Chain A
Amino acid sequence: MWCRQARGSVPRRLAAGGGRALAGPSQGAVSGELLRHLEHLALVDFRDREGVERLRGAIRFADRLREVNTDGVEPMDSVLEDRCLYLREDDVTEGNCTKELLNNAREKVEEYFVAPPGILCCPECDLQLVSHNSLFSVR
């Protein structure tokens, strides 16, 4: 994410990627509770040493944003902010492709998708969480 007045105000050393991270509130400390919470939200199991180290690295990397002074700068939340939001006419132009959609489903019952029961939320459940190793390809 770039600030609107980014040009010229990002210190060169940051752009080069060699700067030291400012001491932010996290300081690399990641509590067990935070880990559990993140796993719960992302449905990813990464509580081994490598996973935690990666997480710390990601936080350090993102913390470098704090070095930029954003006082008095209106946050920009979309690069589309000065574009026109296109409004569509209220006509039925899509749908009726049940077969195609269900082709993607590993399991189906009549014309319904099949999902596991309940709310997928607790790492403590015996639901299989995705291992982080299969998600992050390049360090």
Chain B
Amino acid sequence: VPPPTSPRSHCARRTTFPRGHCGEASEPLARQNGGGGAGLRWGLAPGVAALAPWVPVVGLEIHAQISSNSKLFSGSQVQFAAPPNSLVSFFDASLPGTLPVLNRRCVEAAVMTGLALNCSINKKSLFDRKHYFYADLPAGYQITQQRVPIAVNGSLSYSLCIDNKMSQMVTKTVRIKQIQLEQDSGKSLHDDSRSQTLVDLNRAGVGLMEVVMEPDMCCGEEAAAAVRELQLILQTLGSSQAIMAEGQLRVDANVSVHHPGEPYGVRTEVKNINSIRFLAKAIDYEIQRQIEELENGGTILNETRAFDSKLGCTVPMRDKEGMQDYRFMPEPNLPPLILYDTKSLPANVNHQQVVNIDWIHERLPDLPSAKRAKLVELYGILPEHSFTLVNEDGLTEFFENVLKQTQMKPKKVIGWILNDLLSYLKQHSCTVKESPVSSVLLADLLNLLEKKEISASAAKQVFEELWKGEGKTPLEIVKEKQLQLIEDREELEQICQAVIDEHEKEVMAIKAGNQKIVNKLIGLVQRATQGRSNPVLVKQILEKKLSE
């Protein structure tokens, strides 16, 4: 049985089903498939009588490190990469006699995030202890919010492009079950050769926001898009820098499969995913693994698996002896966290001691979705373009800077930004900030093009030169390589005549009525002039000559 095709093809079909479109059986689609063809669903092989399709179910648990100066319950510093155990207070090391003191900035970060994700903010939330033994958790428990978290019942909208082209985007929503504040643990470095674990508590006690998403997604692509959007939102709010590579955003995926109409299958948890790309891969691999296992008569264990990025597969993690019993209990050292809004704000209160939800709401910055809508409205670009602009760090700014310095219309400029600049950046793995072509240089180039001093193909040649970063201006390059458009009409006429003379067959075809061949002649003239002729003018001259 040949393996199913890549998931993209099935996602391309439905956009109207709220979820489960990846595997939902449906008559029209089955008829479309006929004997199997494009748009295979999970588990269906081409040419085989349809096996019952599978519905994958994907839920995510995301931990985002709060961007703050100090930790959640202590005054030690939050910093990536510092000498081991240098950012640790007595409380973080769990020495007796220490108590947690809540950091207001962390509360504000959680409220901002909750508001941005359309959650209800709980005006009273509680802290709990979650007990388990591990070397990097010195207290033997983690302070979290299990019973009543700070925010609940939100939603996150994200977009997917269908068919792997940027031409069609569809919006999906995933429900946010809750957001809770909790402590991060320290870091363990396993030294298997000496049979020991080295522990660094710098990260122990750093504030985390755990964002729990309902299992509304059905494949790796959806999960990746949702996480990317969440990342953008967190970065826009400033509540977390959400850099996955630095462990500021950690994603665990819960994956299961079932047949339509049947109850959900056993789920596995996939951990150790270090990038958004790997997230999609890990989820898709796990879905496939579960389907194959079940179709071969096996069962799925409720276990935790780690994603091995080198092998591209998930492997069982060391067995944790079945389900953990966390013995949740209220944190006895912390009273309930009370939040206020403008109505409930008590008079004569110390502002430092109060978090006002309305105050935070009024100061929320423009979220990515609002930014994209503004770009589309202001500049008349396509929604897909706005996605790429907002997705790429610094690209919107670059685009707007070019616009300020050129007469060229935004709809034309965007082509240069997305097709030329961005593809060069991607090819050379550069960020926008590292671009050898600045917005000033690009604007200069586009002005030359707009003023018709060079042709479009010449402009591309100039761009390639600019990319070398040798410090030359577009005008200098044009002069150096003699790329200016030929102004002399007589010269152009001579070249056109020469092309006509050398291509009798084509000329006869044109005179016989095949007008399309004119384009071939135009191309030949372009080649003869090394891209220095204005195609519109050339066409005029050719047509005039051919009609004589």
Interface residues of A (CB under 8 A from B): 37, 40-41, 43, 77-78, 80-98, 101-102, 104, 109-122
A76 to B394, CA, bound (A): 51
Q: Which 8 A-B pairs have the closest CB atoms?
A: A93-B75, A115-B135, A95-B76, A90-B105, A94-B89, A77-B330, A112-B198, A87-B104
Q: Are B76 and A85 in contact (CB under 8 A)?
A: no
Contacts of A85 in B (CB 8 A): 102, 334-338
Contacts known (A89-B104, A90-B70, A92-B76); A114 close to B199, Cβ less than 8 A: yes
Q: Does B344 reach chain A (CB closer than 8 Å)?
A: no
User: Shortest distance in angstroms between A50's beta carbon and chain B's nearest beta carbon?
Assistant: 24
Q: A90-B103, A117-B197 are in contact. Are A81 and B84 (CB under 8 A)?
A: no
Q: Which residues of B contact A91 (CB under 8 A)?
A: 69-70, 75
The answer to the question of B133 belonging to the interface, with a C-beta cut-off of 8 Å to chain A, is yes
- Not counting A41-B327, A98-B85, a sample of 18 additional A-B residue pairs whose C-beta atoms are within 8 angstroms of each other reads A41-B131, A78-B330, A80-B335, A82-B335, A85-B102, A87-B102, A88-B104, A89-B105, A89-B352, A90-B68, A90-B104, A92-B70, A92-B76, A94-B74, A95-B76, A98-B83, A117-B196, A120-B134
CB-CB < 8 A to A116: which residues of B?
135, 195-197
User: Cβ of B468 < 8 Å from any Cβ of A?
Assistant: no
**20 intermolecular pairs with C-beta atoms under 8 Å apart:** A43-B133, A78-B332, A78-B336, A81-B335, A84-B353, A90-B70, A90-B104, A101-B201, A104-B95, A110-B84, A111-B85, A112-B85, A113-B200, A113-B201, A114-B198, A117-B190, A117-B195, A119-B134, A121-B321, A122-B321
* Residues in B344-394 with C-beta less than 8 Å from chain A: 352-355
CB contacts (< 8 Å) of A37 on chain B: these are 325
Provide the bound-state CA to CA distance between A109 and B190, in Å: 13
The distance in angstroms between the C-alpha atoms of A78 and B103, with both chains bound, is 20
> Which secondary structure dominates chain A's binding surface?
loop
- Give Cα A20 to B389, complex, Å: 74
Q: Which residues of A contact B89 (CB under 8 A)?
A: 94-95, 97
With a CB–CB cut-off of 8 A, which chain A residues contact B276? Answer: none
**Min C-beta distance of B155 to chain A, whole Å:** 29
Bound together, the chains give a CA A94 to CA B354 distance in angstroms of 23
**Given A119-B320, A122-B321: A112 and B199 interface contact (C-beta under 8 Å):** yes
Contact B84 A112 (CB under 8 A): yes
Q: Which residue of B lies closest to A41 (CB)?
A: B325
- Smallest beta-carbon distance A95→chain B, Å: 4
Answer whether residue B101 sits at the interface, using C-beta atoms and an 8 A cutoff: yes
Does B86 have its Cβ within 8 Å of any Cβ on chain A? yes
Q: Mark B108-134, 1 if CB is under 8 A from A, else 0.
A: 000000000000000000100001011
Select B189's contact among A93, A112, A119, beta carbons within 8 Å: A112
Q: Collect the chain A residues with CB atoms within 8 Å of residue B88's CB.
A: 95, 97-98, 101
Q: How far is the CA of A122 from the CA of B355 in the complex (A)?
A: 44
In the assembled complex, the Cα of A88 lies from the Cα of B68 at a distance in Å of 12
Q: Which residues of A contact B126 (CB under 8 A)?
A: 77
Q: Which residues of B contact A43 (CB under 8 A)?
A: 133
B87 interface hit (Cβ, 8 Å) = yes
CA of A63 to CA of B378, assembled, Å? 70
Q: What separation, in Å, do the CA atoms of A28 and B325 have in the docked complex?
A: 22
What residues on B are CB-neighbors of A117 within 8 Å? 190-192, 195-197
